[in-house]
Amino acid sequence: MDERVQLGQMLVESHLLTQEQLKMAMDFQKSVGGKLGAIIVKLGFIEDQTLTNFIARQQGIPVVNLDELVVPENLVKKIPKKLIEKHHVVPTRHHDGVLTVATSDPFDYEALEEIQLAVDQRIEMVLAPRSQILRTIHDVLYREPAAAPVKEKSKDQLLKDLDAGGEKLSKEALVEALIPLLIAKGVITQDELVRKAKELEAVRER
Protein backbone atom coordinates (compact mmCIF):
# COMPACT_ATOMS: atom_id res chain seq x y z
CA MET A 1 0.00 0.00 0.00
CA ASP A 2 1.25 3.49 -0.89
CA GLU A 3 2.53 5.24 2.24
CA ARG A 4 0.33 8.28 1.63
CA VAL A 5 -2.75 6.06 1.42
CA GLN A 6 -1.53 4.29 4.55
CA LEU A 7 -1.26 7.72 6.19
CA GLY A 8 -4.91 8.36 5.31
CA GLN A 9 -5.94 5.09 6.94
CA MET A 10 -3.95 5.93 10.07
CA LEU A 11 -5.70 9.30 10.26
CA VAL A 12 -9.04 7.48 10.08
CA GLU A 13 -7.99 5.01 12.77
CA SER A 14 -6.90 7.92 14.97
CA HIS A 15 -10.31 9.60 14.48
CA LEU A 16 -8.72 12.64 12.84
CA LEU A 17 -10.44 11.84 9.56
CA THR A 18 -13.57 9.92 8.60
CA GLN A 19 -13.60 7.14 6.04
CA GLU A 20 -15.91 9.24 3.88
CA GLN A 21 -13.53 12.21 4.02
CA LEU A 22 -10.60 9.99 3.05
CA LYS A 23 -12.55 8.64 0.07
CA MET A 24 -13.45 12.18 -1.02
CA ALA A 25 -9.80 13.24 -0.77
CA MET A 26 -8.62 10.22 -2.76
CA ASP A 27 -11.27 10.82 -5.44
CA PHE A 28 -10.17 14.45 -5.62
CA GLN A 29 -6.55 13.31 -5.98
CA LYS A 30 -7.46 10.97 -8.85
CA SER A 31 -9.29 13.79 -10.63
CA VAL A 32 -6.81 16.66 -10.32
CA GLY A 33 -3.62 15.11 -8.92
CA GLY A 34 -1.62 16.43 -6.00
CA LYS A 35 -0.46 15.04 -2.68
CA LEU A 36 -3.03 13.38 -0.47
CA GLY A 37 -1.98 15.19 2.71
CA ALA A 38 -2.16 18.59 1.02
CA ILE A 39 -5.58 17.73 -0.41
CA ILE A 40 -6.93 16.66 3.00
CA VAL A 41 -5.84 20.04 4.39
CA LYS A 42 -7.12 21.96 1.36
CA LEU A 43 -10.55 20.38 1.70
CA GLY A 44 -10.65 21.53 5.31
CA PHE A 45 -10.78 18.03 6.80
CA ILE A 46 -7.77 18.60 9.07
CA GLU A 47 -5.56 21.51 10.15
CA ASP A 48 -2.13 21.82 8.54
CA GLN A 49 -0.31 21.82 11.89
CA THR A 50 -2.34 18.84 13.15
CA LEU A 51 -1.37 16.79 10.11
CA THR A 52 2.29 17.74 10.50
CA ASN A 53 2.35 16.79 14.17
CA PHE A 54 0.63 13.47 13.41
CA ILE A 55 3.17 12.54 10.70
CA ALA A 56 6.03 13.59 12.99
CA ARG A 57 4.83 11.26 15.75
CA GLN A 58 4.29 8.37 13.36
CA GLN A 59 7.63 8.74 11.58
CA GLY A 60 9.75 10.01 14.47
CA ILE A 61 10.78 13.17 12.61
CA PRO A 62 11.37 16.51 14.38
CA VAL A 63 9.04 19.44 13.69
CA VAL A 64 10.37 22.95 13.06
CA ASN A 65 8.46 26.23 13.27
CA LEU A 66 9.56 28.14 10.16
CA ASP A 67 7.69 31.25 11.29
CA GLU A 68 10.23 31.60 14.10
CA LEU A 69 13.26 30.77 11.95
CA VAL A 70 15.39 33.18 9.94
CA VAL A 71 16.77 31.45 6.84
CA PRO A 72 19.91 33.29 5.67
CA GLU A 73 20.51 33.84 1.97
CA ASN A 74 23.71 31.77 1.88
CA LEU A 75 21.79 28.79 3.26
CA VAL A 76 19.02 29.13 0.67
CA LYS A 77 21.64 28.93 -2.08
CA LYS A 78 22.61 25.43 -0.92
CA ILE A 79 19.65 24.08 -2.92
CA PRO A 80 18.94 25.14 -6.53
CA LYS A 81 15.98 27.50 -6.71
CA LYS A 82 14.13 25.28 -9.19
CA LEU A 83 14.23 22.35 -6.74
CA ILE A 84 13.01 24.48 -3.84
CA GLU A 85 10.03 25.57 -5.94
CA LYS A 86 9.43 22.14 -7.46
CA HIS A 87 9.50 20.10 -4.27
CA HIS A 88 8.46 22.75 -1.72
CA VAL A 89 11.40 22.37 0.63
CA VAL A 90 13.35 24.85 2.75
CA PRO A 91 16.94 24.39 3.96
CA THR A 92 17.07 25.15 7.68
CA ARG A 93 20.58 24.21 8.81
CA HIS A 94 23.99 23.21 7.48
CA HIS A 95 26.43 21.61 9.89
CA ASP A 96 29.30 19.13 9.52
CA GLY A 97 28.45 18.41 5.91
CA VAL A 98 24.81 17.65 6.67
CA LEU A 99 22.06 19.80 5.16
CA THR A 100 18.80 19.86 7.12
CA VAL A 101 15.75 20.37 4.93
CA ALA A 102 12.18 21.13 5.99
CA THR A 103 9.42 19.35 4.09
CA SER A 104 5.75 18.64 4.62
CA ASP A 105 5.94 15.29 2.82
CA PRO A 106 8.58 12.87 4.13
CA PHE A 107 7.22 10.19 1.79
CA ASP A 108 8.42 12.01 -1.33
CA TYR A 109 11.62 9.99 -1.61
CA GLU A 110 12.13 10.94 -5.24
CA ALA A 111 12.28 14.62 -4.29
CA LEU A 112 14.74 14.02 -1.47
CA GLU A 113 16.94 11.90 -3.73
CA GLU A 114 16.96 14.60 -6.41
CA ILE A 115 17.93 17.25 -3.85
CA GLN A 116 20.67 15.07 -2.40
CA LEU A 117 22.17 14.49 -5.86
CA ALA A 118 22.06 18.23 -6.58
CA VAL A 119 23.77 19.32 -3.35
CA ASP A 120 26.06 16.27 -3.09
CA GLN A 121 25.66 16.18 0.68
CA ARG A 122 23.83 14.09 3.22
CA ILE A 123 20.27 15.28 3.78
CA GLU A 124 18.35 15.21 7.04
CA MET A 125 14.63 15.90 7.16
CA VAL A 126 12.56 17.96 9.53
CA LEU A 127 8.84 18.56 9.17
CA ALA A 128 6.93 21.81 8.85
CA PRO A 129 3.34 22.61 7.85
CA ARG A 130 2.95 23.07 4.11
CA SER A 131 1.52 26.57 4.63
CA GLN A 132 4.66 27.64 6.54
CA ILE A 133 6.90 26.15 3.86
CA LEU A 134 5.12 28.00 1.05
CA ARG A 135 5.29 31.31 2.95
CA THR A 136 8.97 30.82 3.71
CA ILE A 137 9.79 29.93 0.11
CA HIS A 138 8.12 33.13 -1.04
CA ASP A 139 10.00 35.15 1.58
CA VAL A 140 13.46 33.69 0.96
CA LEU A 141 13.32 33.53 -2.84
CA TYR A 142 11.62 36.85 -3.48
CA ARG A 143 12.69 38.93 -0.52
CA GLU A 144 13.27 42.61 -1.23
CA PRO A 145 16.66 44.18 -0.52
CA ALA A 146 16.84 45.80 2.88
CA ALA A 147 16.26 49.54 2.78
CA ALA A 148 19.18 51.78 3.63
CA PRO A 149 19.09 52.79 7.30
CA VAL A 150 17.75 56.26 7.97
CA LYS A 151 20.20 58.43 9.83
CA GLU A 152 18.49 59.99 12.82
CA LYS A 153 18.98 63.68 13.44
CA SER A 154 19.98 65.05 16.79
CA LYS A 155 17.52 66.94 18.95
CA ASP A 156 19.22 70.28 18.20
CA GLN A 157 19.15 69.65 14.44
CA LEU A 158 15.48 68.69 14.51
CA LEU A 159 14.57 71.83 16.42
CA LYS A 160 16.71 73.95 14.10
CA ASP A 161 14.98 72.47 11.03
CA LEU A 162 11.58 73.29 12.48
CA ASP A 163 12.64 76.84 13.36
CA ALA A 164 13.94 77.41 9.82
CA GLY A 165 10.71 76.29 8.17
CA GLY A 166 8.23 77.38 10.78
CA GLU A 167 7.12 80.59 9.08
CA LYS A 168 6.10 78.76 5.90
CA LEU A 169 4.35 75.81 7.52
CA SER A 170 0.67 75.21 6.78
CA LYS A 171 -1.41 73.29 9.30
CA GLU A 172 -0.84 70.04 7.40
CA ALA A 173 2.88 70.70 6.94
CA LEU A 174 3.16 71.50 10.63
CA VAL A 175 1.89 68.05 11.51
CA GLU A 176 4.25 66.44 9.00
CA ALA A 177 7.18 68.40 10.39
CA LEU A 178 6.47 67.10 13.87
CA ILE A 179 6.30 63.45 12.80
CA PRO A 180 10.11 62.89 12.89
CA LEU A 181 10.10 64.19 16.44
CA LEU A 182 7.45 61.68 17.43
CA ILE A 183 9.33 58.85 15.75
CA ALA A 184 12.69 59.77 17.25
CA LYS A 185 11.94 58.50 20.74
CA GLY A 186 14.27 59.89 23.31
CA VAL A 187 15.67 62.53 20.97
CA ILE A 188 13.29 65.16 22.29
CA THR A 189 11.22 65.24 25.45
CA GLN A 190 7.44 65.49 25.45
CA ASP A 191 7.59 68.98 27.02
CA GLU A 192 9.95 70.20 24.30
CA LEU A 193 7.70 68.73 21.64
CA VAL A 194 4.62 70.50 23.00
CA ARG A 195 6.51 73.77 23.38
CA LYS A 196 7.84 73.64 19.82
CA ALA A 197 4.39 72.87 18.44
CA LYS A 198 2.93 75.89 20.24
CA GLU A 199 5.74 78.16 19.00
CA LEU A 200 5.26 77.09 15.40
CA GLU A 201 1.50 77.46 15.62
CA ALA A 202 1.96 81.00 16.93
CA VAL A 203 4.29 81.84 14.03
CA ARG A 204 1.80 80.45 11.53
CA GLU A 205 -1.06 82.58 12.91
CA ARG A 206 0.80 85.92 12.73
Task: Over range 39-51, report the average pLDDT.
Answer: 93
Q: How far apart are CA 198 and CA 193, in angstroms?
A: 9
Lowest mean pLDDT among 65-69, 119-123, 175-179: 175-179
CATH number of 66-141: 3.30.300.160
Strand ranges across the sheet with 122-127: 90-95, 98-103, 122-127
The answer to whether residues 171 and 127 touch, using CB atoms and an 8 Å cutoff, is: no
Does the structure show a pLDDT above 50 at 175?
Answer: no
Strands (E), 84-175: 90-95, 98-103, 122-127
What does the pLDDT read at residue 32? Answer: 85
In this prediction, residue 185 has a pLDDT band, given cuts at 50, 70 and 90, of: very low
What does the pLDDT read at residue 187? Answer: 52
Nearest in space to 101 (alpha carbons), one of 82, 128, 74:
128
- Among 41-50, 167-176, 194-203, top mean pLDDT goes to 41-50
Does the structure show a pLDDT above 60 at 150?
Answer: no
For 14, residues 6+ apart whose C-beta sits below 8 A from its C-beta are 54
What does the pLDDT read at residue 169? Answer: 45
Task: Over range 43-70, report the average pLDDT.
Answer: 94
Does the structure show a pLDDT above 50 at 173?
Answer: no
The answer to whether residues 121 and 98 touch, using CB atoms and an 8 Å cutoff, is: yes
For 39, residues 6+ apart whose C-beta sits below 8 A from its C-beta are 25, 28, 29
- Exposed / middle / buried, residue 129 (Cβ in 10 Å: 0-12, 13-18, 19+): buried
What does the pLDDT read at residue 201? Answer: 57
Q: How far apart are CA 96 and CA 83, in angstroms?
A: 22
Task: Over range 135-145, report the average pLDDT.
Answer: 81
Instruction: Count the neighbouring beta carbons within 10 Å of the beta carbon of residue 56.
Output: 17
**Averaged pLDDT of the chain:** 80
More confident residue, 90 or 160: 90
What does the pLDDT read at residue 127? Answer: 96
pLDDT, tens digit, 9 for 90 and up, residues 74-126:
899 999 999 999 999 999 999 998 999 999 999 888 988 999 999 988 999 99
- Per domain, the residue ranges of the chain are 3-46, 66-141, 155-205
